[in-house]
Amino acid sequence: MMYITDYHHHTDNSFDSQASMKSVCEEAIKKGINEICFTEHFSVNPKAITYGHMDFKRYFSQIEQCRHLFGQRLKIKVGLELCEPHLLQETYYEQLQGLPLDFILGSVHNIDNQDIRSYMVHKEPEALYQRYFEEVYQLVSNADIDVVAHLDLMKRYAVDVDYLGTYDFHVCKEGLIEIFKKAIERNIGIEINTSGFAKKTLNEPLPSMKVLKLYKELGGEVLTIGSDSHAAATVGYHLDTALDMAKEAGFKYIYTFTSRQPETIKIV
Ligand SMILES: [Zn+2]
Ligand SMILES: [Zn+2]
């Protein structure tokens, strides 16, 4: 039996989720998930919508409680999803210092202090994606993170705008290669984020198979799988699809993290 992990999940410790941690854990156990890592939103930038929501004391005490209640049946890891941690690095360092975190996801949710949904309005698709991937390059070059969250998030929103749509792999390939080379050099992984399957107009993960294969070809090994779920009902969403993808792309392992140290789980 494959050891099943969901390494991207939100609860009401994030500004955009109402889910209680207990309900997510209960549902994860029902679905046969072995390990979950909570990755709540956190930003030190007052201009980001996430700013000011996190109460670390509350978050860590819920983790303790859930480990006490469910620890025999579910391994529970504590993580964060940081907004643009390549910016305001000193503030991030000060605020996260000493916290017992297992795992850190780094995200590009904003460009030039604008959330990407507003940023993309009236942009040319090619220039838009180029700008997005440039920001991701800055992220993997400078931030202290374990894994890049939803590598090509822009497509999730751009796909619904008729003059944008998703990107052409060949047009963005050079930029992606630069990102992957830098990430691999700095031991930063990527995730298969399955939330894209929930969106009919997209119906693919972030990133897609082609991009995942490119990462592997360049020597990428560190890979996590996450539903990016914001509700108990969708914990573990399409994890099986993601595992099949990882296998097909040639990955032998997926990764988990303890105190920010990577460990491998063999894909069977
Ligand atoms: Zn995100
Ligand atoms: Zn997320």
Contact 148, 103 (CB under 8 A): no
Mean pLDDT in the chain? 97
- Report the first-to-last Cα separation within the chain, whole angstroms: 7
Residue 250 CA to residue 191 CA, distance in Å, equals 15
Query: 81 C-alpha to center of ligand 2: Å?
Result: 6
Residue 88 CA to residue 96 CA, distance in Å, equals 12
Structure token pair of residue 201? 């107009």
Confidence of residue 266 (pLDDT cuts 50, 70, 90): very high
| pLDDT tens digits, 129-159 | 999 999 999 999 999 999 999 999 999 999 9
Helices (H), the chain: 21-30, 56-70, 89-96, 116-119, 125-142, 154-158, 169-185, 209-217, 239-248
Query: 98 C-alpha to center of ligand 2: Å?
Result: 23
Residue 244 CA to residue 31 CA, distance in Å, equals 18
Distance from CA of residue 155 to its chain's centroid?
15
Query: 173 C-alpha to center of ligand 2: Å?
Result: 25
Query: 20 C-alpha to center of ligand 2: Å?
Result: 16
> CA angle 194-103-42, nearest 5°?
80
Query: 40 C-alpha to center of ligand 1: Å?
Result: 9
Query: What is the SS3 assignment for 247?
Result: helix
Closest-lying ligand to the alpha carbon of 110? 1
Average pLDDT over residues 188-213: 96
Residue 260 CA to residue 19 CA, distance in Å, equals 25
**pLDDT over 90 percentage in the chain:** 99
Structure token pair of residue 51? 């700013």
Query: 232 C-alpha to center of ligand 1: Å?
Result: 17
What CATH architecture applies to the domain 5-266? Alpha-Beta Barrel (3.20)
Amino acid letter for position 191: E
Spell out which residues have Cβ within 5 A of ligand 2, the ion. 81, 228
Confidence of residue 1 (pLDDT cuts 50, 70, 90): confident
Query: 72 C-alpha to center of ligand 2: Å?
Result: 26
Query: 81 C-alpha to center of ligand 1: Å?
Result: 7
Average pLDDT over residues 50-72: 97
